[in-house]
């Protein structure tokens, strides 16, 4: 167990101005408070907070955070009180200990709603002071290191919890070393056979490639030295869980991976990063598609580096990571390297002895944005889903037409892009151009895409967009807009009800008088009151009493109830058009293109053909290109989502690439049936030795239904690709 003077020496080594008296007091107080308590391993309990403090010294945290690490369990597990902590150590440290105590009892692996609610509490607690999160992550890391002393069931639960929440959270904070260790320990517990197999294979590769790796390291150093670049070149090995995850995601074997072994080149300046890149590319052949510049476009966790892969000596593929010492410090320690826990008005952080002006961490900005999402009233289950999306996805970098950079999770589409620019841009979005060409809003964006959002003031985001959006921000905004639209609709109906009620008694609606009357009904805002009346939650007699009007005896049936029923009948069948589309002439026959299909919720266009009527196409249909010059016959159509019959099927054509194996087609047709869709036509288009294409015309209820089916098909092991037919 680390001695008192050893801990103080570790802190003062990187922070000579640290408060040694504070560290000594915290050490002695925590040791006495925990007394003879022991852990499941039989070790003294005090060894745990001491190891947590040691982990944080590796991250070079300030003296207050180290003291909190020593004290983080005393209120929860001993007779110490917050009042006593505040008297001895001050309000700052007491507040941090209290924040950790509040989340000490979190049990994230429970039912999904409870798990989400606890995650809310965790993020709310750490957003007030990020040091709470740093101590919590160090606490979890040490618990993972001693996991073998737990019962098997508890061990599995904690490992899964760590893999689901804590490891991705550490990654989002840029703390890659912490994340890697958490993931590997969790992987070893959850899937011991796979971990053992990959570890054994890595050991053999290490033994077989040892001399070659040393030779590559030497060759890299010599090439850089020849061009007067002082660099530290170190080899690195991919972690077992990282290998497993990549094999699963890309369906690769271990032998197909090209970046099991890689090298880091640490240079002095950003300029030398690009010079080193040029030298590497001139010396060895570049592997196409393997270059990423995270210096020009940093990740959201502040990670900056250049990645490239070359074919090095002995025709071995070698991944290179090129960065400066300051970039490497942030890559290893993440948010801890920024020193954002200090006073922002006078903050300077030190990296390798160089004082740097404070710049707010992007990782911490992300954390605060997640907390802002909490305030928007999403239910806990949805919040958990969106937070996991934000935690797990890699990034793509896209640009506005003005050149502004927008970072999005991998798999995001133009809807997510529009909402990332601004909520108003997303709400008014009706279409987009990607790299100058019209594209469907649900098109998956790629790195470097330039996206132009086409807007309309009359647009209201369809509810079906929620199922298409990938980011929590977009989904929350779409739900909020949908709720407001419904509320406005009911408020309009409520106003009509009140006006008719008053007209029966020869009176007129007055907003000010109605606002006063609302208080008697227990309602505050006029909009809320009218919406409640529109929903039928307030009876006509109560409305009249609140307004000081006596209802007549003939009003045996609530006028409000009659109007609500009339409105609902009207809403159910507002148009004679059986396809429930607005914007066309109801006297003209309207059909949906068989080449692509079109479903409620997606952007559509009509083409008028004399003698035939109107043909409806989705905006991404290639057939629209043949009508580009004939704009007089274009009709701007929209789905009437209120009139869409939920039981009706709409055509959508998809193309599915499946493995040429027994049972592949059965997987496709079975899933479509299970998800409640009809197969109206199925045709085999091309067949190869390993794969074949099938063209399927589906009957689905709406865009969300179609998206669910396509996502489900993509998850099937024998399905390689699923796309919409573009005609």
Among the three residues 170, 191, 212, which one is the final residue of a domain in this structure? 191
Position with higher pLDDT, 29 vs 485: 29
Same domain for 606 and 711?
Answer: no
Q: What percent of the chain has pLDDT over 90?
A: 18
CB 264 within 8 A of CB 328: yes
Q: What number is the average pLDDT over the span 518-533?
A: 71
pLDDT of residue 489: 74
> Confidence class of residue 469 from pLDDT cuts 50, 70 and 90?
confident
Question: What average pLDDT does range 406-427 have in this prediction?
Answer: 87
pLDDT of residue 25: 92
Say what the pLDDT of residue 345 is.
Answer: 31
Residues 626 and 525 in one domain: no
* β-bridge mates for residue 356, sequence order: 349
- Convert the pLDDT of each residue in 584-594 to its tens digit: 666 678 889 98
Do 190 and 163 form a contact (C-beta atoms < 8 A)? yes
Phi then psi dihedrals of residue 593, to 5 deg: -55, 125
Strand partners, 44: 38
Question: Are 117 and 179 within one domain?
Answer: yes
Q: Cα–Cα distance between 356 and 270 in angstroms, integer? A: 15
pLDDT band at 338 (very low <50, low <70, confident <90, very high): low
535 with 488, same domain: the answer is: yes
709 within domain boundaries:
yes
Domain final position from 278, 304, 337: 337
Q: How far apart are CA 137 and CA 413, in angstroms?
A: 32
Residue 462 has pLDDT above 50, yes or no: yes
CATH of the domain at 688: 3.30.70.260
Tokens of residue 697, six digits: 């015309």
Token digits of residue 83:
């009042």
Phi, psi of 425 (to 5 degrees): -65, -45
Is residue 166 within 8 A of residue 327, CB to CB? The reply is no
Helices 380-392 and 112-128 sit at what angle, rounded to 10 degrees? Answer: 70
> Could you tell me the pLDDT band of residue 53, with boundaries at 50, 70 and 90?
very high
What is the pLDDT, as a whole number, of residue 261?
77
Does 342 fall in a domain?
no
pLDDT at 342 over 60: no
Q: Would you say residue 155 has pLDDT above 80?
A: yes
Q: What is the pLDDT of residue 316?
A: 77
In whole angstroms, give the CA distance from residue 80 to residue 71.
Answer: 10
Residue 426 lies in a domain: no
Cα–Cα dist 469/409, whole Å:
11
The secondary structure of residue 287, as a DSSP letter, is P
Over 80: is that where the pLDDT of 38 sits?
A: yes
- CB 375: neighbour CB atoms within 10 A? 8
pLDDT of residue 344: 34
Helix (H, G, I), strand (E, B) or coil at 519: helix
Among 65-79, 239-253, 598-612, 703-717, the range scoring the smallest mean pLDDT is 239-253
Least confident of 132-146, 161-175, 197-211, 528-542: 528-542
Percentage of the chain beyond pLDDT 70 is 79
In contact, 707 and 714? CB cutoff 8 Å: no
CATH of the domain at 309: 3.30.460.10
Write the CATH number for 93: 1.10.3210.10
Residue 343 has pLDDT above 70, yes or no: no
Range of the domain at 520: 480-572
- Give 410: exposed, middle or buried? Use CB within 10 Å, 0-12, 13-18, 19+: middle
Which tens digits make up the pLDDT trace of 249-260? 666 666 666 567
Instruction: Quote the pLDDT of residue 329.
Output: 87
Answer yes or no: is pLDDT of 493 > 90. no
Q: Give the pLDDT band (50/70/90) at residue 406.
A: confident
Higher pLDDT, 212 or 197: 197
> Would the pLDDT of 358 be above 50?
no
Provide mean pLDDT across the span 187-200. 90
Mean pLDDT over residues 96-105, rounded?
Answer: 70
Q: What is the pLDDT of residue 505?
A: 73
320 within 8 A of 263, measured Cβ to Cβ? yes
Distance CA 590, CA 691 (A): 37
- Does the pLDDT value for residue 283 go beyond 50? yes
CB 719 within 8 A of CB 657: yes
pLDDT at 381: 52
344 falls within a domain = no
Residues 53, 184 within the same domain: yes
**Residue where a domain terminates, one of 306, 337, 368:** 337
Distances from the Cα of 617 to the Cα of 563, 596, 598, 669, 727, angstroms: 37, 7, 6, 26, 10
* Mean pLDDT, rounded, of the chain: 78
Cα–chain center distance at 437: 27
Specify which of 107-121, 292-306, 398-412, 482-496 reaches the highest per-range mean pLDDT: 292-306
Tell me: do 84 and 230 sit in the same domain: no
Distances (CA, A) of 684 to 234, 393, 719: 52, 34, 14
CA distance 192 to 152: 13
Return the ∠ at Cα 516 (arms to 514 and 520), rounded to 5°: 100
318: alpha, beta or left? (left if phi > 0; alpha if psi -120 to 50): beta
pLDDT of 553 reads 42
Q: Looking at the predicted structure, is the pLDDT value of residue 713 above 50? A: yes
Residue 710 lies in a domain: yes
Is there a single domain that holds both residue 97 and residue 156? Answer: yes
Q: What angle do CA 398, 399, 405 make, to 5 degrees?
A: 85
Which residues does residue 684 pair with via DSSP β-bridges, in sequence order? 694
- The C-alpha atoms of residue 404 and residue 675 are separated, in whole angstroms, by 41
For the chain, the maximum distance between any two Cα atoms, rounded to a whole number of angstroms, is 102
| Statement to judge: residues 538 and 521 lie in one domain | yes
CB atoms closer than 10 angstroms to residue 116:
22
**In this predicted structure, what is the pLDDT of residue 577?**
43
The pLDDT of residue 145 is 92
Confidence of residue 132 (pLDDT cuts 50, 70, 90): confident
**Is residue 276 scored above 90 in pLDDT?**
yes
- Same domain as 672, residue 623: no
**pTM for this structure?**
0.55
Unique residue bearing structure tokens 């006078």:
346
Active site members: 76-77
Using CA atoms, how far residue 494 sits from 459, 563, 566, in Å, is 24, 9, 13
Residue predicted with more confidence, 74 or 367: 74
Higher pLDDT, 120 or 643: 643
Does 603 reside within a domain?
yes
Instruction: Give pLDDT, residue 102.
Output: 60
Round to whole Å and give the CA distance between 290 and 275. 18
**Contact assessment for residue 474 and residue 516, using Cβ atoms and an 8 Å cutoff:** no
pLDDT for 268 beyond 90: yes
Residue 82 CA to residue 178 CA, distance in Å, equals: 29
Co-location of 602 and 675 in the same domain:
no
| In a shared domain, residues 263 and 325 | yes
pLDDT at 571 over 70: no
- In the chain, the number of structural domains is 5
Q: Is the dihedral of CA 21, 140, 179, 343 positive or negative?
A: negative
**Distances, alpha carbon 349 to alpha carbons 335, 346, 360, in Å:** 11, 10, 11
- Cα separation, 153 vs 699, in Å, equals 45
**3-class SS of residue 160:** helix
One domain, residues 109 and 214: no
CA dist 719 → 123, 244, 371, 561 (Å): 38, 20, 38, 52
Domain assignment present for residue 441? The answer is no
Least confident piece of the model among 222-226, 297-301, 597-601: 297-301
In the predicted model, is pLDDT for residue 312 greater than 80? no
Q: What is the pLDDT of residue 697?
A: 93
pLDDT band at 277 (very low <50, low <70, confident <90, very high): very high
- 187: in domain: yes
Report whether pLDDT(630) > 50: yes
CB neighbour list of residue 633: distance below 8 Å, 6 or more residues apart: 607, 608, 609, 627
Provide the token pair at 589.
């026959």
552 vs 706, more confident: 706
């Amino acid at each position: 167990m680390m001695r008192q003077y050893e801990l103080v020496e570790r802190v003062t080594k990187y922070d000579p101005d640290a408060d040694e008296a504070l560290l000594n007091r915290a050490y002695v107080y925590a040791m006495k408070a925990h007394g003879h308590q022991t852990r499941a391993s039989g070790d003294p309990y005090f060894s745990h907070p001491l190891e947590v403090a040691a982990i944080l010294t590796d991250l070079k945290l300030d003296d207050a955070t180290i003291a909190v690490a020593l004290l983080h369990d005393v209120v929860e597990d001993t007779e110490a009180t917050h009042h006593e902590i505040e008297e001895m150590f001050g309000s700052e440290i007491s507040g941090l200990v209290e924040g950790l105590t509040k989340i000490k009892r979190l049990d994230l692996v429970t039912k999904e709603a409870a798990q989400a609610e606890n995650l809310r509490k965790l993020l709310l607690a750490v957003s007030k002071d990020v040091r709470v999160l740093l101590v919590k992550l160090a606490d979890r890391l040490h618990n993972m290191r001693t996991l073998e002393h737990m019962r098997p069931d508890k061990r599995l639960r904690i490992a899964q919890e760590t893999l689901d929440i804590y490891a991705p959270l550490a990654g989002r904070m840029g703390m890659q070393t912490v994340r890697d260790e958490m993931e590997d320990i969790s992987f070893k517990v959850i899937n011991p056979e796979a971990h053992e197999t990959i570890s054994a294979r890595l050991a053999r590769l290490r033994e077989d490639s040892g001399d070659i790796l040393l030779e590559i390291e030497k060759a890299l150093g010599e090439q850089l030295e020849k061009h007067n670049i002082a660099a530290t070149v170190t080899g690195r090995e991919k972690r077992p869980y990282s290998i497993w995850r990549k094999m699963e995601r890309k369906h690769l074997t271990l032998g197909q991976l090209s970046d099991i072994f890689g090298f880091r080149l640490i240079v002095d300046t950003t300029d030398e990063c690009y010079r080193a890149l040029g030298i590497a590319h001139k010396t060895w052949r570049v592997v196409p598609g393997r270059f990423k510049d995270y210096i020009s476009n940093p990740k959201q966790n502040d990670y900056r580096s250049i990645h490239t892969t070359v074919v090095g000596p002995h025709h071995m593929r070698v991944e290179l990571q090129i960065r400066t010492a300051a970039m490497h410090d942030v890559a290893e320690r993440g948010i801890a390297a920024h020193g954002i826990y200090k006073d922002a008005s006078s903050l300077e952080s030190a990296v390798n002895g160089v004082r740097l002006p404070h710049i707010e961490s992007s990782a911490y900005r992300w954390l605060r944005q997640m907390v802002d999402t909490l305030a928007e009233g999403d239910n806990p289950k949805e919040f958990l889903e969106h937070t996991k999306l934000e935690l797990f996805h890699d990034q793509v970098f896209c640009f506005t037409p003005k050149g502004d950079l927008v970072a999005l999770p991998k798999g995001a589409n133009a809807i997510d892009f529009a909402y990332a620019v601004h909520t108003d841009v997303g709400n008014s979005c009706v279409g987009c151009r990607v790299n100058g060409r019209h594209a469907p809003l649900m098109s998956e964006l790629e790195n470097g895409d330039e996206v132009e959002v086409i807007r309309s003031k009359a647009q209201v985001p369809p509810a079906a967009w929620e199922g298409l959006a990938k980011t929590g921000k977009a989904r929350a905004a779409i739900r909020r807009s949908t709720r407001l639209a419904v509320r406005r609709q009911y408020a309009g109906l409520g106003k009509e009800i009140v006006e008719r009620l008053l007209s029966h008694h020869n009176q007129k609606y007055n907003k000010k008088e109605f606002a006063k009357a609302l208080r008697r009904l227990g309602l505050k805002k006029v909009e809320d009151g009218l919406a409640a009346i529109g929903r039928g939650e307030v009876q006509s007699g109560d409305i009249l009493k609140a307004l000081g009007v006596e209802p007549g005896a003939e009003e045996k049936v609530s006028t409000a109830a009659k109007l609500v029923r009339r409105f609902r009948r009207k809403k159910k069948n507002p148009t004679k058009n059986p396809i429930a589309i607005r914007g066309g002439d109801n006297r003209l026959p309207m059909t949906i293109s068989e080449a692509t299909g079109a479903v409620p919720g997606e952007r559509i266009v009509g083409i008028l053909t004399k003698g035939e009527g109107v043909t409806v196409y989705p905006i991404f249909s290639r057939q629209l290109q043949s009508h580009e010059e004939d704009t007089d016959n274009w009709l701007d159509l929209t789905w009437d989502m209120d009139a869409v019959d939920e039981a009706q099927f709409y055509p959508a054509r998809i193309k599915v690439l499946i493995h040429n194996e027994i049972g592949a087609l059965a997987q496709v047709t079975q899933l479509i049936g299970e998800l409640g869709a009809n197969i109206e036509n199925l045709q085999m288009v091309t067949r190869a030795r390993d794969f074949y294409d099938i063209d399927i015309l589906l009957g689905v209820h709406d865009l969300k239904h179609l998206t669910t089916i396509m996502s489900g098909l993509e998850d099937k092991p024998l399905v390689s690709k699923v796309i919409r037919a573009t005609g």
